[in-house]
Structure 1
Amino acid sequence: MISSTKIDTDVLREFHRTPGPVDSVYFNLETLPQQEENATLRWHKLTDRLARQGADAASLTALTDRVLPALPGSGALAAFAVRGDVPLVVEMPDFHHEDMAVHGPLPHLLPLLEWQQEHPAHVLAIVDRIGADLEVYPTGATKATARRTVTGPDDEIRGNGAQLRFQHRAEDSWDHNAAEVADAIGETLSQHSARLLLLAGDVRARQFLMKHLPEWVRREVTIRSVSGSRSHDGAVQERMAQVEAETRRAGQEETAALLRLLAEERSPGGRAVEGVHATLDALARGRLRTLAVTDDPQDRRTAWSGPAPTDVSDRRGVLQPNGGAVVRGRLADVAVRAALLTGAEVRALPTDTPHAPKQGIGGVCRFA
């Protein structure tokens, strides 16, 4: 069983290859100890809902055994059951989503994807004039999964304002050390496909660092500042609160950038598609680069999905798969499956998103 706050796209693609039906639940864990009885009642309402939708008893028992011990907790828990097994559980701290239970041929991943995009992959670098501490946070992670300490080659870091020669020597050391840190940051960002860099620590060291960052980092990576230093100064909690705010902000900016791109590409001959039929057709042709779909719990629209990644349509008669079953699932779930399995990115949009695609679904194609 996978149980993590870090679920990458490869894991979700593999999960989609597991034959359904799938029971998908999102459960709010935030409750006071004296309210656990109410939380248990909420949970049983969810399992009753799943049972009425056709979930089997073994899956309901397996979900209960996994969810209830997590009370009380922070944020929400996403859990997915398949024929009595719970192959995927994701803890989502500080995520607020209404309790939800969905039984269907495909997993319901939109709330999980929304959580992920609010926590883009990033690197936190806490620097001083000697070196830096680097922390790596993959997509969806709220805790560092890798740490690295970088120490520069020069140890003469203290200047003497009264003797200009010593001051210049110290600044040369700071510069050499900053170059070492900059190389390590570029390597770490590239290795983990992160496009957000958060910098904390000594102001002067950060100034030296900025001029040594690789050109591609300065061009492609969003760089933000947070407070704190490498010393144990008691500012860790404040810094992590700032990190949370900055990652959420970066996720929102990525969504805004996609909506701007959609608007630009809506012109004749552009790469944008929107609406159910046009978007599913682009997925069926493997043309879609990024899928944008509204996360609306009340959306009951359906579409058809076959065994191959591109077996997708809003009409059953169009699909003629070579073996394997054709299933009817929620429109959003069918589209997300096709997007993930054809290598497209997925962007979940809140229901009140301004300038969202028509009919709540659309995207940008790889070519016009």
Structure 2
Amino acid sequence: MTTATATDTGTLRDLLQAPGPFLSVYFDREARPQLAQAAQSRWRGLTGRLAEEGAAPATLDALTSEVMDRLPGTGVLAAFAAEGKVRHVVELPGGGHGDLAMSGPLPHLLPLMEWRQDHPAHVVVVVDRSGADLLLYAEGSTEPVRRTVTGPDDEIGRSSGLPQMRFQHRAEDSWEHNATAVADAVAEALGEVSARLLLVAGDVRARQYLTKHLPSRVLRDVSIGQVSGGRSEDGSGGGRAAQVAAEASAAAREETAELLRRLDEERAPGGHAVEGVHETLEALAAGRVGTLAVTDDPRDARTAWFGTSPTDVYERHEDFVPNGSGPLVSGRLADVAVRSALLTGADVRILEPDTPGAPSQGTGGICRFG
């Protein structure tokens, strides 16, 4: 079993390839100890319903033990269990739409993936004239990796005895050399977490030098914003953290909007968009989908069929041509589509129900090729 506050794509793929059936729960924990009894009652209601649906007692017991050990807590606890074992647990601070429990042949990953996409990878740099503090947030992470960059040049002080003009030139050169080192470290950090959002705080002049020395690929491909505060202990950390969270959330919304714009453009004749259940599953079966867009609606009871291969996906069982790869299994449509997309290297974007511009029948995407 793995436990995390972030879940990478590799972990999701491992879950999808593990043997089922799965129990998937999203449990909104109570932060206050005095409400622990109410949380336990809610949990008994969830597990009781799963038991009525035929969930294996050993798997329910494993889930219950895991969840009870984590009460009280904050945020949503997502847990996935099969064959009497909890396969993965992840804490989702501040997320969720209430309790959810599902049983099926596949783990129900869509709420986790939606939370993850709402927390895009980003880098925060707090810069001054001697260096910078960096905070690296991987996608779906609320806890950063922290680094300090110290520039190669010491800032020249007034005590150097240099004439004012010469002092100023030497100081400016020193600050710019330091900014170059920070810019290199920032570019490396952005690449390390695959971030397309950079948030800059700190000394105004140092920020100018940093922007000047960022590589052209960063200036071209990365959205750069500003947040308040500096490197000194001035009490600005809390306010800056709130600004960073707001900027990351706005970037996530823009990524969804950009996908919907692209989807609309690709609907034109000759475009690479597919939408609707039949067309999308056919494209997934051909390994053509580059980005899948799927609506997450717990009330959606539609099903599809899947086999052992990532491209064994069918709208109807009768569409399957036996090929020696094993029997087909019926699962929730959205879960089957997500499984095929992730296991064939496609990106996935989870949409809220009734999202304007969403693909027909809540399922669609943009293909790599026609």
Give your verdict on TM over 0.5.
yes
How far apart, CA to CA, are the structure 2 residues paired with 1:54 and 1:61? 14
Match for 1:228: what amino acid?
G
Question: 2:63 maps to which residue?
Answer: 63
Contact 1:159 1:171 in 2 (8 A): no
SS of 2:126's equivalent in the other structure is strand
How far apart, CA to CA, are the structure 1 residues paired with 2:50 and 2:201? 47
Question: 1:336 maps to which residue?
Answer: 338
User: What is the Cα deviation at residue 163 of structure 1?
Assistant: 2.0
SS of 2:65's equivalent in the other structure is helix
The correspondence of residues 43-54 of structure 1 with structure 2, limited to 5 A, is 43-54=43-54
How far apart, CA to CA, are the structure 2 residues paired with 1:337 and 1:276? 15
User: What is the Cα deviation at residue 157 of structure 1?
Assistant: 4.8
In structure 2, which of residues 320, 344, 361 is the aligned counterpart of residue 359 of structure 1? 361
Question: 1:229 maps to which residue?
Answer: 230
Contact 1:159 1:167 in 2 (8 A): no
Contact 2:129 2:155 in 1 (8 A): no
Question: 2:151 maps to which residue?
Answer: 152
Question: TM-score of the superposition, structure 2-length normalised?
Answer: 0.96
Question: 1:202 maps to which residue?
Answer: 203
Question: 1:246 maps to which residue?
Answer: 247
Contact 1:122 1:197 in 2 (8 A): yes
How far apart, CA to CA, are the structure 2 residues paired with 1:3 and 1:102? 20
User: What is the Cα deviation at residue 119 of structure 1?
Assistant: 0.7
Render the CA deviation track for 1:26-66: whole Å, top value 9, x for unaligned.
01113432222111111111101111222111111111111
Aligned residues: 367
Question: 1:308 maps to which residue?
Answer: 309
SS of 2:350's equivalent in the other structure is strand
Question: 1:286 maps to which residue?
Answer: 287
Q: Which moved more, 1:172-181 or 1:338-347?
A: 172-181
Question: 2:92 maps to which residue?
Answer: 92
Contact 2:156 2:167 in 1 (8 A): no
Q: Which moved more, 1:150-159 or 1:186-195?
A: 150-159
Q: Structure 2: any 5+ residue segments left out of the alignment? A: none
Percent identity between the two aligned chains? 61
Question: 2:12 maps to which residue?
Answer: 12
1:217 corresponds to 2:215: no
Q: Structure 1: any 5+ residue segments left out of the alignment? A: none
SS of 1:335's equivalent in the other structure is helix
Contact 2:96 2:111 in 1 (8 A): no
Match for 1:211: what amino acid?
K
Query: Runs of 4+ in structure 1 displaced over 4 angstroms?
Result: 157-162
Change (3 A) 1:260 1:158: farther
SS of 1:70's equivalent in the other structure is coil
How far apart, CA to CA, are the structure 2 residues paired with 1:293 and 1:13? 17
Render the CA deviation track for 1:192-214: whole Å, top value 9, x for unaligned.
21221121211211111001000
How far apart, CA to CA, are the structure 2 residues paired with 1:367 and 1:228? 46
Contact 1:133 1:147 in 2 (8 A): yes
User: What is the Cα deviation at residue 169 of structure 1?
Assistant: 1.6
